[in-house]
Structure 1
């Protein structure tokens, strides 16, 4: 694996001397969840309440440096292309992001002894992390797939783009949504109707289709429900599972803060 020089104060191999510690041995707090479940909102609230908590480079950055750059030889921006390459990485490394993160060494002068990472996805990654890195703890956030599409439409993240997503959807959005690969296995007819109705709120058909494709592409790679069910078997001190629809952003942030900081009070 090439040295992930794009990651600050993290290396694939340690310096000959200095306080470099394997992330595998540190008591990381790991956020678990797919796109649009509210991880970023919870993380911002936690950082605002506790500025001394250090947050590692996020999943995108670690993916770029450790997974994609060695495979593609450069940056990859298209979401579906990224999913394909990360799937290729997981064929050789079944632990996916957990396995990639566990290979890194951290300079604890910068990251401290208990940083936070955002995040892991799916049962395979969570199970690998839990079984191989006993010091890690997990905060899982969940939301229904239709809610995730709506949230992606609202966040205007330039990273949330897919090539070739436009054109025909403007004529018959509901039909186009139902024709997306895997759509009818993930969304019921009423949910597809509701997604099509988002156009009446000012969202373009092309954007609705693009965001729905992102959710479907991610679901083909990861199973968030299986990861949550697995973490629910853990003792409360090691895993916290929250529904970000039942709980508002402030309630999620409060629950995460209390759980993460409980042993520091």
Structure 2
């Protein structure tokens, strides 16, 4: 088995108290919360504008590869649905999921500073574990309807957004209906609207592939439950934004204002 590439300036082994290394669980992280296609990149850019020199930890994909995927699969996995299955297996043994994995890592604070940002957490289990286990962490949660997320995935052309499977049938509506679990995520009207995206130049194969990603993600993470929990936290710990009701400029402004109001000394600089 090939060893995974190490995460830069991060490790799992304990470190002496007097060293520059510290558990991420003890640092005042700002954590982005949201599933694929909700607009986390906009929020991240806004945070960087408020805090020049902000350190951004390796993202969810990198931590997932190093801590979850490689140990279970013995190598890299690119198919999104297979990755969801492997991360679900990890969560079965580690209920905190990504929050538990991230909080257990040791960080070299001479590189990452004492208040880096992580993108991101998903679902109630991860968010609740993070908030209750790591009281110094703060959260920016972004949400958008699932049909909107499919449209955004179609527009961003991210090579990571792919799943295995043959080309759909000529009737894209039938192919969408055949996705396992689709009825729990999309209404019949939403499926009709997604099928109609072929008129905007999107291929049937891409429409079905992106819908499958959203359905697979929703099978493993519940954004609404995570947001409901975050609403119980004090305002200085959690900011929740609807990225459909707010345009990108408004999302960025809301994040900037929230970050500047933080009690964190670094955010006040």
- TM, length-normalised to structure 1: 0.95
The equivalent residue for 2:131 is: 130
C-alpha RMSD of matched pairs (Å): 1.6
Q: Which runs of 5+ in 2 are unaligned?
A: none
In structure 2, C-alpha distance between the alignment counterparts of 1:242 and 1:130, rounded to whole Å: 18
SS of the residue 1:240 aligns to = strand
In structure 1, C-alpha distance between the alignment counterparts of 2:168 and 2:245, rounded to whole Å: 35
CA offsets 1:180-211 (integer angstroms, 9 cap, x no match): 11112211111111100111000000000000
CA offsets 1:3-22 (integer angstroms, 9 cap, x no match): 97521110101455630000
CA contact (8 A) 2:15 2:106 kept: no
Which residues in structure 2 correspond to 1:202-221 (within 5 Å)?
202-221=201-220
CA contact (8 A) 1:4 1:12 kept: no
Q: Which runs of 5+ in 1 are unaligned?
A: none
In structure 2, C-alpha distance between the alignment counterparts of 1:235 and 1:49, rounded to whole Å: 21
SS of the residue 1:168 aligns to = coil
The equivalent residue for 1:91 is: 92
CA offsets 1:150-205 (integer angstroms, 9 cap, x no match): 000000000000011x3233x10111111211112211111111100111000000
In structure 2, C-alpha distance between the alignment counterparts of 1:72 and 1:176, rounded to whole Å: 29
- TM, length-normalised to structure 2: 0.94
In structure 2, C-alpha distance between the alignment counterparts of 1:230 and 1:49, rounded to whole Å: 27
Matched, 1:224 2:200: no
In structure 2, C-alpha distance between the alignment counterparts of 1:229 and 1:7, rounded to whole Å: 32
SS of the residue 1:106 aligns to = strand
The equivalent residue for 2:8 is: 8
CA contact (8 A) 1:123 1:230 kept: yes
